[in-house]
A and B are shown apart, each in its own frame.
Chain A
Amino acid sequence: MMDSTGLNRVDMFEVYKQYLEINSSNQYESSRNDLKMLAEKIESSGLTRNMILEGLSRLILSLNLTADSRQFMSFYDFVFFMCRENRQKSVSASMAIDAWRLVLNGRFRLLNQWCDFVKEYHRHNISEDTWQQLLPFSKCVQEDLGGYDPKGAWPVLIDDFVEYMYSTCSASDDSRDMETQQDASMSGLVPHAGSK
C-alpha cells in the first residue's frame, strides 16, 4: 500500500514535469506526438481512477498554486489530460466532477452548484473546450451570476447552467439563507433546463 502510493507520487510529479516540458516547446506537431506517447505510457502503467485522483490531490498540495497564475492554468489543463480514458478527447462527467471538486475547491464560488448541475443533467462526456472554458468562467462569474455575459461565447453547458441557476434562484429569491435553500430547491427541481 505504502509502496504503490509512494510510487504514484513520484510518477505524478514526473509526468507533470514532462507534460510541462512538452507543452513549452513550440513545435506543434512534435509536441502532439510527445503528448500522445506520454498518454500511452500512463495508460500502460495501469493507473486506476482513484489513483489518478489521489495523485493529483497530492500534486496540488505540493505545488502550492495561486488561482490566477499561469501555472495553475497549465495544471488545470494537465488534470484534463490525466483524467481522460483511452486517450479520448473528453472526460466522463463523473470523473470531471470529482476532478473539479479537487482542483477548483476554493477557487470557484459556484463549484457545488455546478457539480450538482452536471451530475443531474449532463450524461455525456465533458469536451476539452467545455473543461477549459470553465476556468475563465469560474474566475469571472459571481455568486449572483453577475459577470456572466450571455453573448460571451460560453459553451452551451455553461449557458444551460446559468439558465438553470436563474430558474432555481428565482424560486428561492426571498430566502436569506441561500446555502440551505439552494440545496433544498436543487433536489426538488423542475427539470426544464436540462432537457436541452
Chain B
Amino acid sequence: MSTQKRRNFKIEAFKHRVELDPKYAEKTWKVLEHAIQEIYNHNASGLSFEELYRNAYNMVLHKYGEKLYSGLVTTMTWHLKEISKIIEAAQGGLFLEELNRKWGEHNKALQMIRDILMYMDRTFVPSNHKTPVHELGLNLWRDNIIHSSKIQTRLLYTLLELVHRERTGEVINRGLMRNIIKMLMDLGASVYQEDFEKPFLEVSANFYSVESQQFIECCDCGEYLKKAERRLNEEMERVSHYLDAKSESKITNVVEREMIANHMQRLVHMENSGLVNMLIDDKYEDLARMYSLFRRVPDGLSTIRDVMTSHLRDTGKQLVTDPERLKDPVDFVQRLLDEKDKHDKIIHLAFNNDKTFQNALNSSFEYFINLNPRSPEFISLFVDDKLRKGLKGVSEEDVEVVLDKVMMLFRYLQEKDVFEKYYKQHLAKRLLSGKTVSDDAERSLIVKLKTECGYQFTSKLEGMFTDMKTSQDTMQGFYASQSPETSADSPTLAVQVLTTGSWPTQPTTTCNLPAEILGVCEKFRTYYLGTHTGRRLSWQTNMGTADLKATFGKGQKHELNVSTYQMCILMLFNSSDRLNYREIEQATEIPASDLKRCLQSLACVKGKNVLRKEPMSKDIGEDDVFFFNDKFSSKFYKVKIGTVVAQKESEPEKQETRQRVEEDRKPQIEAAIVRIMKSRRVLDHNNIVAEVTKQLQSRFLPNPVVIKKRIESLIEREFLERDKVDRKLYRYLA
C-alpha cells in the first residue's frame, strides 16, 4: 500500500509540468531542427549546447522520442541530398576532394548532433530498436551520397583510374586516396568490399593478365621474374598505404595467379633462360627469386623441383654413361663431386636450404650413380688417388672435407659391398707399397665407414692396419734376435705378415727367389714360427717391393726401387749379361703375364731402361733377348721402376670381382632369410623378398631372382618348407 502511494505521488508531480503547453513538442523540435541546419551551415558557434541538450532530453522524456528521431532522419536526409548535389557538380579531379571535404564536415556535424541527442541515443534508441545516431548518419551518407546513382559509378571509376595511373608510373595523391578508402571502410566492411574491393580485384586481374602476357612475350625468364616480383611488392606497398590490410592477401593472390601460376610451365621451360639455364649458369639471384615467387602459388615449388630433378638426372646420366669419362676414374668422381657441390650451393643460396630440394638432389644422385655399375670401383679409386698423392700438403680439415664428400657419394651407392671389395684391394696395395700419404686420413675414413655401415663392414679393413703394426714389431724382434755378424752382409728383409681372410687374397704363385733372399726368408720363417706356433707362412711374391743397389758402366751408382718380381729378374743379371725370355721365365717361374709386364717396365720405359732388349720393340716377345744396360744413366740417385698403381680393372678382372661379390652375397641373403623366418615362422614369398631387400639394402640391392634361388636352396636343405595348403607360404623348420 505504501509503495503505491509513493508512486502515485511521483506521477502526479510529473504530469503537472508536462501538461503545461500542448504545442511544446512542435516548438522544441523547431529549435532543434534549426540547430541542425546551423551545424551543417557551419554556424554552430552561436548555439547553446546545454539548451539544445535539455530540449532533446525533454522531448524524449515527454514521449516525443519518435517525433525527434524521425525529424532527425528527415532533416539529415535533406541536408545530405543537398551535399550530394554539390559533390556531383565538382569537376574532374576536384570530385574526390569535394567528397572528402564533405565527408569530413558530415562527420563533424554528426559528432555535434550526436552530442545534442545523447539522451535519445541512450534511452529511446535501444528501447525502440532504432539505429544509433552515429550509425544512422553513416547509413544516410551511404544511401544518399555513396549509393546515389550519379556518384556511385563515378567514385568507383575514379578510384580504379587512380590505381591504374599509379601502376603505370604516375604519382597520385595517396593521402586523399587513403581518406576515401577509409570512408568506405567506415561505412562498413560490405561497402568497402562491394563498392571497391571486388571491382578492384577484377580490374587488377585483367590488368595483370594482359601485362603478364606482354612480359612473357618479350622478356626472358629472369627479367620476367624481376618484373613480377616488383609488381608484387608494389601491390603490398599499396595495401599498406591506402587499402584495408585484409586486402593484401587478396590482391597478392591475384598477382600470383595472373603473373606466376598461369605462366609457370612456360617460365621454367623458357628457351635459353628457363630454370635449366639458370641452374647451368649458377644464377643464384634469379633462382632465389623464382623460389620465393613460386612458393606462393600451389604446385609452384614442385614445378621447380620436378624440372630440377629431371635436369639432374639427365646430366647425371650423361656424365656416368659417357664412355669418355670412364677412361679416367678420378676425373669421373671429381665431376660427380663438382656437380654435387654446385647444386648444394644452389640449394643453399637460392632455395632456402629446402629439405625437399635436398631430398630431390639426393635421390637424383642415387639414381644416376647406380646407373653405372663401375661407380663403386671408381669412388674407391678416387680415394686411392687422394690418399696416395692428392692430399699431400693439404691441411687436416681439408682432408676431412674431401673424405666427407667421398662418404656422401658412398651413401648413394646401392652396392656398398662392391665398394668394400675394391676398397680392400686398393687399401692393401697402398699399405703394402707404403704409399699412403697419411695414416690419420686412412683411419679417419675407416671410422666414417664404420659409423655408416657398422663394425662388420670395417673389421677386415681394421685387421689390415693391425697386421701392419704387428709386422713392424715382429721385424724389430726378428733383427734383435739375429747376431749382428750374420746379418751384416745379407740383404735387409722387411716382412709384412698378413692375416689370411683380412686381405684380398690372390692365388699364391711364389716365384723362385734369389738364393741370398731365400736365406733371410728362411731365417725369418724359423724365427716367426718359433714365436708363433701352429701358423703357416706363405710368401706373396706378387705383392712385395725391393730396393737394389746397382753399379752401371761408368761406375755410377743408383738405387733401384723395384717390385719383388723385378728384383728376381735383375738379380739374374749378376751372373750373366745376356738372357733370353725363356731363360728368365725358367729361372724365376714368374707367371707369364706378370713377367712380360715386368720386363716391359725394365726394358722399354725411356729413362728407366736398366735392361736392353733385342729386338727393340715396345712389346715383349717370347724370343726376345735381354742385356744388362751398361749405358743406363739418370739424374737421380734413386730410380723408381714400374710402380704398382691401382688402376681400374680390365674386363676379365671386373667379371671376376663381380662373381666374387655375387658369391659373397649368397650367404648374406640366406642369413637374412633365416633371420626373418626364425622370428616370423610363417611368411609368404613376396613378404620375404620385401623384408630381405629391406634388411640388406644398406649393403646392396639383392636381386629378387637370387633371393628366390636362396629360398629354394634353403627348402632343399630343410631350413624351410612350403605350406601344404597355400603353396605361396613358407614355414620355418626349427
Contact = CB atoms under 8 A, between A and B. Distances in A.
A136 B727 contact: yes
A168 to B, nearest CB: 20
B166 interface: no
A133 B715 CA distance: 12
B84 to A, nearest CB: 82
A132 B716 CA distance: 12
B716 A133 contact: no
B728 interface: yes
Given A132-B722, A136-B727, A196-B705, A153 B712 contact: no
A77 B728 CA distance: 19
A136 B722 CA distance: 13
B492 interface: no
B686 A151 contact: yes
A72 to B, nearest CB: 16
A116 interface: no
Interface stretch (A7-15, A96-104, A122-130, A183-191): A122-130
Contact of A155 (B684, B686, B712, B728): B712
B712 A127 contact: yes
Q: Which of A128, A153, A156 has the most CB of B within 10 A?
A: A153
Nearest to B718: A89
B685 A156 contact: no
Contact of B712 (A129, A136, A151): A129
Interface string B55-98: 00000000000000000000000000000000000000000000
Interface residues of A, number: 16
A159 B705 contact: yes
Nearest to B713: A127
Nearest to B706: A156
A155 B709 CA distance: 8
B705 A129 contact: no
A129 B728 CA distance: 12
Nearest to A130: B712
Given A153-B685, A156-B708, A128 B716 contact: yes
A153 B716 contact: no
Interface string B684-698: 111000000000000
Contacts of B727: 133, 136, 153
A153 B728 contact: yes
Interface string B415-456: 000000000000000000000000000000000000000000
Given A90-B716, A127-B712, A129-B715, A153 B705 contact: no
A152 interface: yes
Nearest to B720: A129
A196 B712 CA distance: 15
Nearest to A157: B712
Given A132-B722, A136-B727, A153 B684 contact: yes
B706 to A, nearest CB: 9
A153 B686 contact: yes
Contacts of B716: 89-90, 127-129
Nearest to A129: B715
Contacts of B684: 153
Contacts, number: 35
A152 B728 contact: yes
Interface residues of B, dominant DSSP: helix
A9 B722 CA distance: 33
Nearest to A133: B727
B732 to A, nearest CB: 15
Contacts of B728: 152-153
A48 B722 CA distance: 31
Interface string A169-196: 0000000000000000000000000001
A133 B716 CA distance: 13
Contacts of B686: 151, 153
Contacts of A129: 712, 715-716, 722
B419 to A, nearest CB: 26
Contacts of B722: 129, 132-133
Nearest to A155: B712
Contacts of B708: 153, 155-156, 159
Contacts of B685: 151-153
A151 B705 CA distance: 11
A127 B715 contact: yes
B533 to A, nearest CB: 43
A127 to B, nearest CB: 5
Interface in A143-161: 151-153, 155-156, 159
Contacts of A133: 722, 727
Nearest to A152: B728
Contacts of A89: 716
Contacts of B709: 156
A145 to B, nearest CB: 18
Interface string A86-98: 0001100000000
Interface string B704-734: 0100110010011000001000011000000
A71 to B, nearest CB: 16
B312 to A, nearest CB: 32
A89 B719 CA distance: 14
Contacts of A155: 708, 712
Interface in A106-132: 127-130, 132
Nearest to B714: A129
A129 B686 CA distance: 17
A9 to B, nearest CB: 31
A57 B127 CA distance: 112
Contacts of B705: 156, 159, 196
A90 B713 CA distance: 12
A136 B712 CA distance: 17
B217 to A, nearest CB: 51
Interface in B12-28: none
A159 B705 CA distance: 9
A151 B716 CA distance: 21
A155 B728 CA distance: 11
Nearest to B717: A89
A153 B683 CA distance: 12
A127 B716 CA distance: 7
Nearest to A136: B727
Contacts of A132: 722
18 contacts: A127-B712, A127-B715, A127-B716, A128-B715, A129-B716, A129-B722, A130-B712, A133-B727, A136-B727, A151-B685, A152-B685, A152-B728, A153-B684, A153-B708, A155-B712, A156-B705, A159-B705, A196-B705
Given A89-B716, A130-B712, A133-B727, 15 more contacts: A127-B712, A127-B716, A128-B715, A129-B715, A129-B716, A129-B722, A132-B722, A136-B727, A152-B685, A152-B728, A153-B685, A153-B686, A156-B708, A156-B709, A159-B708
Question: Which 5 residue pairs across A and B have the least CB separation, nearest first?
Answer: A153-B685, A153-B728, A129-B715, A127-B716, A156-B708
